C-alpha cells in the first residue's frame, strides 16, 4: 500500500459542488496529526476548516490559496510513514511511491547513451560501479547539454551536470553555460522564466487582448495573474499604440479606462445568494405588508430585563423581543411556518428561526434549530452565539440549512424597513426596521414615542392577505406591550 495518500476536497453538505481555498494552515514538510485542521475552505454557504484524515508529513499541496476546486479533487498529499525514508519523484514531478535503487547488474546492462536531442528522464539512484551515473534500464547518461524545464515559481534553470565518461565514443560535451532565465513566451501561455499562475478564463482574456502573461506581475493570491492585471496591461498597450491627436479627447478617454473599474468575481456566498434570490423572486408570488408600531413599552421592558441580576451578562436587544414575538405568533398561525411542495403544503411543527447576518463574506442566514422550544434566556444565548459565529466566519453549512422562517434586521443600518425576498423553501420573512423617537398620538395627545416599522413578505400561494395581516398584527401587538401579550398568550 502506498504511503502517499491524496486527500480529496470532501462534500461539505447540501450537495455543494466546489469550494474556494481561503488559506492553507500547513505547508509542505510539516508534520501533522490526525484531525488537525489543514485548510480553510469557503463554500457557497460557509467558511470551514477541514481536518486531516491521516497523520504524517505534508508531501505536496496541489492548489494555491484563492483557487476554486471541485468536490472530489485532490488538494493535498500526505506521507503517512515519513520515517521510512525519502520519496522518489516521478519524471513529471508528481509524488510517487518509493522505488528501489537499481542493482549493479541492471546498471551494467546500460551501455548506450540516448540519441542526441532526446529528452532526459529523471534519474533515480546513486553513482554506479565504475563511475557511471545510475539510471533506469533503457536510459543512459547524456553526452550533450540538456535543456531543462523552467522550475515552478520562476527559479532559473541550473546548468547541466558534467556527464560521465561514456562507454561508446561520443562528441565532447559543450562547456556549461551560466544559467539564463528563458525569454517570456509571446503566445499568452503564462510562462515567463517559470509557470505563471493564471486561471483559464484569464489566459483566454490575455490571448484575446494580445497580452503576454509572462510580462505581467500578478496581484492575486500567491502572485497569480488576475483579469484586472490583464485589462490594465491591455489598456496601457492600447494607449501607447495610438498617438494622441487631440489633448482633450485623449484625456477624457483615459479617465474611463479599466484602471478605474473593479471586477468582483461572483462566487461563494454572493453566488449562492444571487441564485437563491433569483429563483425565489420568479417562483414564489411575493406580497409585502407593513405595520408601524409604538414600541415604547417594549424598550422599557428591555431596560427592566437588563437590570435583573441573572440577565446582566446576557446580550439583550430589541431583536430578541421581535424573535419571541414571531415564535409566539407562529403558534397562533401555524400555516405561516410552511413550505410549498408542488402538489402539497408542508406545515412544520418546529421553527428553525433564521437570523440574517451581514458578514465580510456577504449576507448569510444561519438559523436556530427548534427555536420555539427555547425559553427567553435560551433564545437570547442562541442568538448571541449565532451572530458571533457568523461574524467570525465560522458558521457551518448545517447551521444554514433547513430554515423555516426568517427575520432580517435592517434597522441596524438605520433603515426604516424593506420588502425582503423569501429564502427558498420558506413562506414568510420579517424585516425589522430602526427604532426611532417620533411624534406619536398616545392617549389622545402627541408625544415623543419609540416607533418602528415592520415589513412582512409572504408566499401568496400559502398565505393569503387575511392570514398575513393577522400574523403581522400579532407581532405588532406583542411589541406594543410584550408583558401583557405574554400573560394573554402563554
Catalytic residues: 460
CA distance 321 to 302: 8
CA dist 384 and 418 (Å) reads: 24
Angle separating helix axes 296-307 and 318-332, nearest 10 degrees: 110
**Using CA atoms, how far apart are residues 440 and 296, in angstroms rounded to an integer?**
11
Q: Provide the terminal-to-terminal Cα distance of the chain, rounded to the nearest Å.
A: 64
* Residue 180 burial (10 A CB sphere; 0-12, 13-18, 19+): exposed
Contacts 24+ apart (CB under 8 A), 180-186: 180/156, 181/150, 181/154, 181/156, 181/157, 182/150, 182/157, 184/212, 184/214, 184/215, 185/212, 185/213, 185/214, 186/212, 186/214
Contacts of 223 (CB under 8 A, 6+ apart): 197, 217
Residues contacting residue 9 through CB under 8 Å, at least 6 positions apart: 19, 41, 50, 69, 70, 71, 72, 73, 74, 75
Amino acid at each position: 500500500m502506498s504511503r502517499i495518500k491524496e486527500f480529496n476536497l470532501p462534500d461539505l453538505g447540501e450537495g455543494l459542488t466546489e469550494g474556494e481555498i481561503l488559506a492553507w494552515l500547513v505547508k509542505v514538510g510539516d508534520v501533522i496529526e490526525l484531525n488537525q485542521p489543514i485548510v480553510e475552505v469557503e463554500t457557497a454557504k460557509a467558511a470551514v476548516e477541514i481536518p486531516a484524515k491521516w497523520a504524517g508529513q505534508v508531501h505536496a499541496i496541489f492548489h494555491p490559496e484563492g483557487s476554486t476546486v471541485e468536490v472530489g479533487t485532490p488538494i493535498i498529499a500526505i506521507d503517512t510513514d515519513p520515517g521510512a525514508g525519502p520519496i522518489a519523484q516521478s519524471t513529471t514531478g508528481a509524488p510517487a511511491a518509493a522505488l528501489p535503487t537499481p542493482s549493479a547488474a541492471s546498471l551494467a546492462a546500460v551501455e548506450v547513451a540516448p540519441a542526441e536531442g532526446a529528452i532526459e528522464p529523471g534519474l533515480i539512484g546513486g553513482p554506479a560501479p565504475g563511475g557511471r551515473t545510475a539510471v533506469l534500464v533503457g536510459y543512459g547518461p547524456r553526452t550533450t547539454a540538456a535543456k531543462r524545464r523552467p522550475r515552478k515559481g520562476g527559479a532559473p534553470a541550473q546548468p547541466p551536470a558534467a556527464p560521465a565518461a561514456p562507454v561508446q565514443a561520443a562528441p565532447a560535451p559543450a562547456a556549461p553555460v551560466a544559467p539564463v532565465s528563458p525569454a517570456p513566451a509571446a503566445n499568452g501561455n503564462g510562462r515567463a522564466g517559470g509557470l505563471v499562475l493564471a486561471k483559464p478564463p484569464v489566459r483566454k482574456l490575455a490571448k484575446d487582448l494580445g497580452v503576454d502573461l509572462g510580462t505581467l506581475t500578478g496581484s492575486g493570491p500567491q502572485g497569480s495573474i488576475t483579469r484586472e492585471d490583464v485589462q490594465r496591461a491591455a489598456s496601457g498597450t492600447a494607449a501607447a499604440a495610438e498617438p494622441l491627436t487631440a489633448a482633450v479627447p485623449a484625456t477624457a478617454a483615459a479617465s474611463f479606462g479599466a484602471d478605474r473599474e473593479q471586477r468582483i468575481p461572483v462566487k461563494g456566498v454572493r453566488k449562492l445568494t444571487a441564485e437563491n434570490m433569483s429563483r425565489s423572486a420568479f417562483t414564489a408570488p411575493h406580497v409585502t405588508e407593513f405595520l408601524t408600531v409604538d414600541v415604547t413599552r417594549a424598550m422599557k421592558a428591555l431596560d427592566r430585563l437588563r437590570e435583573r441580576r441573572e440577565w446582566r451578562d446576557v446580550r439583550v436587544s430589541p431583536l430578541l423581543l421581535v424573535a419571541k414575538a414571531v415564535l409566539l405568533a407562529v403558534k397562533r398561525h401555524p400555516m405561516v411556518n410552511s413550505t410549498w411542495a408542488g402538489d402539497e403544503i408542508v406545515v412544520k411543527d418546529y421553527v428553525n428561526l433564521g437570523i440574517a447576518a451581514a458578514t465580510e463574506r456577504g449576507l448569510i442566514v444561519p438559523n436556530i434549530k427548534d427555536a420555539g422550544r427555547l425559553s427567553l434566556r435560551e433564545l437570547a444565548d442562541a442568538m448571541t452565539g449565532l451572530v458571533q459565529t457568523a461574524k467570525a466566519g465560522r458558521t457551518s453549512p448545517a447551521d444554514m440549512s433547513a430554515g423555516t422562517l426568517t427575520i432580517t434586521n435592517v434597522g441596524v443600518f438605520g433603515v426604516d424597513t424593506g420588502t425582503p425576498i423569501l429564502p427558498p423553501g420558506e413562506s414568510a420573512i420579517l424585516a425589522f426596521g430602526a427604532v426611532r423617537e417620533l411624534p406619536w398620538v398616545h392617549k389622545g395627545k402627541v408625544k415623543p414615542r419609540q416607533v418602528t416599522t415592520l415589513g412582512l413578505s409572504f408566499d401568496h400561494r400559502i398565505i393569503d392577505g387575511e392570514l398575513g395581516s393577522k400574523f403581522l398584527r400579532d407581532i405588532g401587538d406583542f411589541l406594543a406591550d410584550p408583558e401583557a401579550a405574554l400573560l394573554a398568550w402563554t
